[in-house]
Amino acid sequence: MRLARPAGLLLAAVGAVLWAVNMTVLQPLTEPLGPWSERFPGNNAYWARDLRFATIVAVVLGLLLAGRGDRWWSRTAVLLGGAWVAADLAVDRADPTGAGATVLLAAAGCAVVAAVATPLVRREMRAPAPGPDRPVLTGAACVAGVLTLVAATIESPTDREPELNPAAFTTGALLVVVAVAAALAAAPAATRARCWLAVGLGAAAVLGVGLLRTTAPGTRMLPQLALSAVLLTGVTLLAWDWPGGRPDWGRQGLAALAALVGPTAMMVVAALLTMTLRIGAPFTALAGNSPINSADSDILYSLVGVLAGLGMALLLANRLAFADAPVAGRPARPQP
């Protein structure tokens, strides 16, 4: 896909801006008032943190898309994501608020994206990379797709915050665009049929995110399964080979089944794992926030989504699914 680089960098920049808005506008809403709160927060108290971490993942995946799965871009993007999470904890501890802090953090985030991308672009100009790494791009689409489900179903203790639904919808929509763009970049060719499929898939998935946000929290399971099936099946339709010019409907049927039940099952397993290991509590403590009360669980839902997304990537982004996946020693081919 010719527009992979500008699209990826643009999406990474949008993720950086949303991260800044979340930090200065949404995060203060989730913290107890006063320095000595008499009640510890409960389940889903730090919903803004999960949405913010999801935007950090969007930045990482945007850079992955910009590099079309190249190993240098991928490694750098992952390292940046880890550093960004560490910076997030430090900034959260400082409790920035106000329009000035928002603009400063957004500008800093975009500057970091530019600073990371510039040497990688120059390196690629000196030594052109081979064609796109289709399995890596498809895996990135899977992670974005599963994380979309997390953003679309995120809850708060009261679910009455007026900022909750717009923030969740915006983050989910960003992840949908990342997933669709990465899947299209993984396609063997951006034909007209695949491009129209990408437009339709993106529109349907964004509509699905919006419908999920209008559904009561206790009744979201069926819409969530439907969004999961549509989005991840669409990812495989876009990214996988079409033997004879049309999809292999037998394989697509298996992909649809995996897309229907796989993400939810993997998220349940990942949530139980993170609860057992108490992974969320250290993040809360490092950010200087009040601990979750002992009767509830400090679950890092964004991490749950990433782990489940990586699990789906193992199923749907296997190199055996791609006829021309790059292999070691393969000569470079010109970029389309």
Full-model pTM: 0.92
314 has pLDDT over 50: yes
Instruction: Give the chain's mean pLDDT.
Output: 90
Short-list 309, 163, 141, CA closest to 240:
141
Q: What is the pLDDT of residue 159?
A: 72
CA–CA separation, 150 vs 157, rounded Å?
A: 16
Query: Distance between CA 57 and CA 126 in Å, rounded?
Result: 29
pLDDT tens digits, residue range 214-236?
Answer: 998 889 999 999 999 999 999 99
Q: Convert the pLDDT of each residue in 132-168 to its tens digit.
A: 999 999 999 999 999 999 999 999 887 777 899 999 9
Higher model confidence: residue 89 or residue 39? 89
Asked if residues 105 and 20 have their Cβ atoms less than 8 Å apart, the reply is yes
167 contacts 51 by C-beta, under 8 angstroms:
yes
Q: Which of 249-258, 293-302, 307-316 has the lowest mean pLDDT?
A: 293-302
